[in-house]
Amino acid sequence: MINERGLLGVKGLGEIRITGGRPLKGTISIQGSKNAALPMMAAALLHKGVSVLRGCPCIADVFCMEEILRSLGAVTWWEGDNLYLDCSYADGTVISEENTGKMRSSMILLGVLLARNGKGTVGYPGGCVIGKRPVDQHLHVLKGLGSYIIKEEGFLEASCTGLKGSRICFEKRSVGATEQGILAAVTAEGKTTLLNCAREPEIVWLCRYLRRMGAEIKGEGKSCIEINGVKKLKAGDMKVPPDRIVAGTYICAAAATRGSIIIENPPEGELDAFLKVYRKMGGQYIRKSGKLIADGRGTAYPVPYLETEVYPGFPTDLQSPLMAVLTTVSGVSCIQETIFEDRFRAAEELKRMGARITVSGRQARIAGGFPLHGCRVAAGELRGGAALIIAALAAQGESIVEGSTFICRGYQNICEDLAALGGQIKKDTGTAFYENIEIQKKIKHYRQT
């Protein structure tokens, strides 16, 4: 019962055509959160039955995780935008290097495999090429809970005779490692205390989902999380929260085009650091009747200095979209990237459009206010691709953004959403994809089954 949309989303090639110069205006709803949905999907493996994620985003990363769970024996299906995960017989223990190489979030499955089966083998994780993302802290927390890990070329092999609660302190805050520890500890014997935890909203939502499954957790959203292990979890059933990064991206698009948009379902309290910077640039916003009205018509001021930080600081995932906005603002702005050392990859492509950006190490200097012009650019990773779309919407003439598959990893309907707001944008998947005979055979097979 594989979903055909997943096959299309993961395999599709193509480019996005954009004609800039129109201020965005209108009302939009935000898709479910990618970063919340993926660990929830991993949590479903902890119950031998059917769990559901309501309002799950139909994006490439979700389809990739779905494919991995199916490779372990899970049965998955979609009813609208609700994703059902039947993990009754998902007793596989090996996740191939091919699968884990597509998406870094797959690493959090190692702790789940240990909790469920006492062993697990995973290939080294992949994802966007934005710098070093070591797995040492993942291994640190799993070893602390009683697992034995062997590092081989290209994969990790872990085993245990039963995970046991422990007191573990992370060397630095890591979202993935914190999620790893939580997922492994909820069914471990005894009490686990995790110190120096990441505080991102995705961790809060994971803990809420696990509590609905019967886990005993307290302290999420704080640096110390305490977990009392339980012997068995029940089915999970929860609505995926709106994606704060998508919401921030659309606000950036409105600001870059000097438009005004209304977000019907804004993430509550999760965008405060971003909105503080947005207001400093001249953007205005109000919350009214559960909606967020973002008016970017007054965007006119540079940001002299900004550092990306772990939550609740300014999110690294919105650094590239913000850079695109700053290219349209007169004056000099400076961004210091503290999370990933190679997250200015979009800068070179923005320069092709006329942006004046100088990158030195982890710092980017943006001399804004010079007209952007449409041209052909290439997305090299997810958020950088979104930044190119934002710049293209603000540029004069037509732009073509190649590498739309990177963008589809995190944005469900970015072209349709921005078009609904008045943007001249459309996606061209290209004929090469549809002419691929092997892919067509697979689509036909899954339609029949």
Q: Enumerate the active-site residues.
A: 128
Locate 416 and state its tokens. 């349709």
Give, rounded to a whole angstrom, the gap between the first and last alpha carbons of the chain. Answer: 6
Cα-based distances in Å from 358 to 66, 321, 348, 366: 40, 16, 9, 7
Query: Nearest-CA neighbor of 11 among 433, 445, 449?
Result: 433
Cβ-based neighbours of 419, under 8 Å, separated by 6 or more:
425, 426
Residue type, 113: L
CA separation for the pair 448, 346 (Å, rounded): 42
Q: Coil, helix or strand for 245?
A: helix
Give yes or no for a cis peptide into 312 (omega within 30° of 0): yes
Phi-psi region of 290 (alpha: psi -120 to 50; beta: other; left: phi over 0): left
Cα-based distances in Å from 178 to 79, 298, 428: 31, 39, 39
